[in-house]
Amino acid sequence: MTREILWFCVAGVIGFAVDVVVLLALVGWIGWDVYLARVFSFVAAATATWLVNRGITFAPRRAGAPRRSIVGEWSRYLAAMTIGGALNFAVYAAIVAGLGTERLVLVAGVVAGTAVGMTFNFLSSRHWVFARRSNEN
């Protein structure tokens, strides 16, 4: 489990970077609303973390398992992350509403939201999305 936690954290750092870059690009360069941009940055970050978690973090759990639909797995992952994402977004929105929309505040909101959602996301990934089934090795 220690290996999984470490790689989950690596995936989270990658997801955080994707989240911030997409958020700042949509807000700063395209002029999107800060809340709508955060929804899109979250989906981009979740997809990036799914790729790392699928390929590295939980790969041993998938070894020898029956092949599953990639789209189905991504859909389950995104569904699981949506709850963590809702917690993440609520924290982000509270910080932005209270402190404003300056770039540093937006980044701080992403940091705080990410911290809140991370434990839930790990547990749902480990025990639902990438869980070993009883008929698997």
pTM of the model: 0.74
**Tens-place pLDDT, residues 107-122:** 999 899 988 888 888 9
What is the pLDDT at residue 61? 76
What is the pLDDT at residue 64? 63
DSSP letter for each residue of 40-108: HHHHHHHHHHHHHIIIIITHHHHTTPPP--HHHHHHHHHHHHHHHHHHHHHHHHHHHHHH-S-HHHHHH
